[in-house]
Each structure stands twice: as structure tokens, then as C-alpha cells.
Chains A and B, each alone.
Chain A
């Protein structure tokens, strides 16, 4: 069992989560060339080592998170919300535990 520290719910078993995939894939604009879409949809680095990947806490808060994990050892190095605005808000909140300064 991998234990994933969800930024919202705390550390939970991986069986509560659903694996998304390579989080570094950037989907092109809708009107981009077909070759850009083929690259984004079908081609993968498939890293043997540390990669950034998306997971959804399906049986918890249902939030998407980005997990930095070693695909050979399953060690988790960092976790953050997939939504950058929420990640920023969490950082501010943790810097000011008593509320906005």
C-alpha cells in the first residue's frame, strides 16, 4: 500500500485515490495542430525514477493533486494541489495560521 499525504485530508491509503497519469503533459489549445494533440494524448516519457503524476482523492475530498513519486521505489517526495490558485491559498494559510495578517 502506498500512503499518500493528501494536502486536504491528511495521509491516506492509495486505494482511496484514482491514478491520473503523467502530470507534466500539457494539452494544447483546441485549434492546435493535430501533431501537437497526438504528442499530448499518446506519447509518454514513461520515466523510471522520480516523476510528477496526478491522482484524484476519489473516496475522500475528490480533489486532484500532483504527487512527486519514484516509480521504482514508490517513495513519495512531495504532494501539492493540482490547482495552482488553491496551492497558493494553502501556502498563505499555512504562513498565517491565525488568519489573514
Chain B
């Protein structure tokens, strides 16, 4: 497999683009592997890559029921940030952001990571105090964070609705300058290509339909492409975790599946050079501009449990109202597409990277809204867990036992109702 470089772009440009290799092999499944990861989303692919790269392991397969990047990897708003406050989450997401900063070089694939800053609008002194507490906590553990007063905000983003007559007048912003966006498909393709180069088999159109157990361990996975066995098995299928959990005969989980919509407008000339977040008085809205010019934005969940990958219309109205209330200039812009992904909404809004009641089964789940930004660190720590059979101290509480121990990682303080952890 050739490395991508300026020279390869130049050479292939001269030869009619006919000499590019496949980015990854289309592997046929084998009967037995040392490690089988279910789910070739960003988390599964990153896990396979770090298992090979960080831990020198081989004989790994990643199973995908559809096509690579066709699940939530392609159904998000591509925001990357690490402005978390709870112990554990803080170190975890900051580690993820650091991995993002070097990801294009590490994968030899341009993931188009753009550190354009994440700007959360503030509307009251109380919100400013709360943001100061959160961002100071982040700074104490190595992340970056700033508070912008109104003058600074106006200088950076001149065209927000600064009217004093707005329902929620803008008074400033909490900003993470190192945060930004990345190209979601490139992340999936980059991890797939890099994992493939390490010898990982990526097997598409291979849906797991059953799990065979021998007492306390998993022996085989029944798939649409035959039986596949693994000495160690990892589930990384957020949205459908409960389905696989039931196939393994493990019963209930502290997870509900909800759908989250995202939207993209027709392409515009450069308009917004940051990720802007508007969340006050029950609203929740985030917007950025893609490199193609489309305004990419989203808001709340659809407010009821669902496995259907399609969104409802009341949310389209809510999100559009938010868009025009902070950026009135979008009023005549046409919506191009909207889509919905199914999320593992956990009982405290934080994920699980942990061992399970079965000795050779490992779980990566419960990503709520935060899956995209988390994918590098998720793969990093999940690979570490599978390779060493023990949790790194950073993810010590990202397990299924934390609720009975009272160690909920509830960033919003919303309580045990999955739909509230947006």
C-alpha cells in the first residue's frame, strides 16, 4: 500500500489518476480470529487500528452490517471539543482532542481537522459564572478555554443577532479555541485504511444475527456471512447495543435508543468560521459551516425512544427557529438535507468502555451525543482494555457498575432520564 504524499498526488495527476491502489481490502471472513470487533463505525475501526498499532496485536476482524461509514459515522455534525467537566470525562475527551490534533499524520489520511474554535453563547450572569467554573476546571487539567466578553465576540462573529430586544440577548461566550470540526467520511476511511495496512480484516455486509455462549464466555458470532469465532469479542455498535446485548443473553442495560437529527443547508459563501452553540431557556442548537459551504446544524433529540433512522418534523421547526434567532441572515436559506441517527442514550449521559459479565466480551457503548469527537480516545482506551484485560485509570468509572456505586458521570445533572442528556 502506497503512502499518500504530495508526490503521489502529482504523479497520479500526470498519469490520469489510473494508478491509485484500493484504500483497503474487501476481506472475506475467516472462521476464527483472535479479536473480533462488531461495528465498523469510527469507534470499531479506531479500536482495531490501536489494537494493532499500540499493542502489536494481529488476527483482528471488524464486522459491519452495512457499509463502512454508513451508520452514525455519517450521521453527525462533526464537532470535536473537550469542554467536559466531570472527573474521567475531562481527561478522556482531552486525550481525544490531542489524538485529533495529530490524526491526519498518524493515519496518513487528511481528516480535514479544522480547529476553528467552539463558541458557546452566554446570555446571563449566571450562565457566565457557570461557564467560568466549567472552563476553569478544564484549564486546571490541561484543556484550553476562554471567556469572551461581548466586544470580543462581536469582533470575531459580527453577524450574530446582538439585538437587545432578542428574547435572550447575547452577553458573551465561553470558547474552546482548539475545538473544531473534521470531515466525518475521511475519519472512517482513514482509520479503515490505516487498520487495513496493519492487517485488520474489515468485513462489510456482515450483520451479527446471533451470539453463541459457552457458559461465561462467547464462542461464536452468527453472521449473515457465516459463523465467526473470536478469542476476544468487542461490541462497538452504539444505537443497537441493546439488540446485541440481548442476543448475548445479558438482559437489560442502562441505555435507551433515541434518534438525533442533523441538517445541512444549500452551500453558501464563507459565513461562519467557528462552531457556534446556542443553549438557553430550553433551546439547544449548534451550527458550523462545512468546507463545501453548507451550514451544518442540529439541536435536541426527537424526544421519544426510537430505532427508526428518520427524524420528525416538529424538531425541524424547533431547530430552524433557533437558527434564525441567532443568525437571522439564514432566514431565506434553503434546507438541503436532514437525517437522523440512532443514539445510545445512557442514564447519566456518559459512555461505557468496560468489561461485561462474560469473560471474553468487552463493551463500548452509550455515546449519547458525544460519539464523533470521542472516537479516537474511544478506540485508544477500548483497545487498551481488550489487550490488557483491565481498565485504564482514565476510564475507571466508565463501566456498568457506576450506577449502583453512585458514581454517575452526569455532566448536565439531568438525572436518570436518557432523553435529557443532550
> Nearest Cβ in chain B — how far from A6, in angstroms?
15
A85 and B257 alpha carbons, distance in the complex (Å): 32
> Nearest Cβ in chain A — how far from B62, in angstroms?
23
Could you give, for residues 27-46 of chain A, a 1 whenever the CB lies within 8 Å of some chain B CB and a 0 otherwise?
A: 00000001100110111111
* Contact present for A48 and B242 (CB under 8 Å): yes
* Contact present for B314 and A71 (CB under 8 Å): no
> Nearest Cβ in chain A — how far from B301, in angstroms?
10
Residue of A nearest to B254 (CB): A42
* A91 beta carbon closer than 8 Å to chain B: no
* Contact present for B419 and A72 (CB under 8 Å): no
> Nearest Cβ in chain B — how far from A34, in angstroms?
7
* B416 beta carbon closer than 8 Å to chain A: yes
Residue of A nearest to B243 (CB): A48
Q: For residue B313, which residues in chain A have a CB less than 8 angstroms away from its CB?
A: 1
Report whether over half of chain A's contact residues are helix, strand or loop; otherwise say mixed. Answer: mixed
Residue of B nearest to A49 (CB): B307
In-complex Cβ contact of B304 among A14, A39, A41, A73 (8 A): A14
* B3 beta carbon closer than 8 Å to chain A: no
A38 and B406 alpha carbons, distance in the complex (Å): 10
* B347 beta carbon closer than 8 Å to chain A: yes
Q: For residue B300, which residues in chain A have a CB less than 8 angstroms away from its CB?
A: none
The size of the chain A interface, using a CB distance under 8 A, is 28
Q: A41-B347, A47-B242, A74-B308 provided; 18 other pairs, C-beta below 8 A?
A: A1-B314, A14-B304, A14-B314, A18-B303, A19-B303, A19-B305, A21-B417, A35-B404, A38-B404, A42-B403, A43-B253, A44-B252, A44-B253, A44-B255, A45-B242, A46-B242, A46-B257, A53-B305
A19 and B257 alpha carbons, distance in the complex (Å): 13
> Nearest Cβ in chain A — how far from B131, in angstroms?
29
In-complex Cβ contact of A46 among B255, B303, B308, B312 (8 A): B255
* B306 beta carbon closer than 8 Å to chain A: yes
Chain B 331-349 interface residues, beta-carbon cutoff 8 Å to A: 347
* A2 beta carbon closer than 8 Å to chain B: yes
* A78 beta carbon closer than 8 Å to chain B: no
Q: For residue B256, which residues in chain A have a CB less than 8 angstroms away from its CB?
A: 21-22, 44, 46
Q: For residue A46, which residues in chain B have a CB less than 8 angstroms away from its CB?
A: 242, 252-253, 255-257, 305
Q: For residue A48, which residues in chain B have a CB less than 8 angstroms away from its CB?
A: 240, 242-243, 257, 307
Q: For residue A38, which residues in chain B have a CB less than 8 angstroms away from its CB?
A: 403-404
* Contact present for A44 and B308 (CB under 8 Å): no
Q: For residue A51, which residues in chain B have a CB less than 8 angstroms away from its CB?
A: 305
Q: For residue B242, which residues in chain A have a CB less than 8 angstroms away from its CB?
A: 44-48
Chain B contact residues (Cβ within 8 angstroms of A): what range? 20 to 34
* Contact present for A19 and B255 (CB under 8 Å): no
The chain B residues found within 8 Å of chain A, CB to CB, are 240, 242-243, 251-257, 303-308, 312-314, 347, 403-404, 416-419
> Nearest Cβ in chain A — how far from B405, in angstroms?
10
A42 and B254 alpha carbons, distance in the complex (Å): 5
A51 and B255 alpha carbons, distance in the complex (Å): 15
* Contact present for A74 and B306 (CB under 8 Å): yes
In-complex Cβ contact of A73 among B252, B257, B308, B416 (8 A): B308
A4 and B416 alpha carbons, distance in the complex (Å): 26
> Nearest Cβ in chain B — how far from A22, in angstroms?
8
A1-B312, A46-B256, A72-B308 given; A19·B419 CB < 8 A: yes
* Contact present for B312 and A14 (CB under 8 Å): yes
A82 and B257 alpha carbons, distance in the complex (Å): 23
* A15 beta carbon closer than 8 Å to chain B: yes
In-complex Cβ contact of A71 among B252, B303, B306, B416 (8 A): B306
A96 and B419 alpha carbons, distance in the complex (Å): 41
Q: For residue B305, which residues in chain A have a CB less than 8 angstroms away from its CB?
A: 19, 21, 46, 51, 53, 71
> Nearest Cβ in chain A — how far from B259, in angstroms?
10
> Nearest Cβ in chain B — how far from A65, in angstroms?
13
* Contact present for B416 and A41 (CB under 8 Å): yes
Q: For residue B257, which residues in chain A have a CB less than 8 angstroms away from its CB?
A: 46, 48, 71
A1-B313, A19-B303, A38-B403 given; A43·B254 CB < 8 A: yes
Top 6 A-B residue pairs of the complex, sorted by shortest distance between their CB atoms: A46-B242, A43-B252, A19-B304, A15-B314, A42-B403, A42-B254
Q: For residue A1, which residues in chain B have a CB less than 8 angstroms away from its CB?
A: 312-314
A57 and B62 alpha carbons, distance in the complex (Å): 45
Residue of B nearest to A46 (CB): B242
Most buried by B among A13, A34, A44: A44
Q: For residue B308, which residues in chain A have a CB less than 8 angstroms away from its CB?
A: 71-74
* Contact present for B312 and A72 (CB under 8 Å): no
Provide a sorted-by-A list of 26 A–B residue pairs whose CB atoms are within 8 angstroms. A1-B312, A1-B314, A2-B304, A13-B314, A14-B314, A19-B304, A21-B256, A22-B256, A34-B404, A35-B404, A38-B403, A38-B404, A39-B252, A41-B347, A41-B403, A42-B347, A44-B242, A45-B242, A46-B252, A48-B242, A51-B305, A71-B305, A71-B307, A73-B308, A74-B306, A74-B308
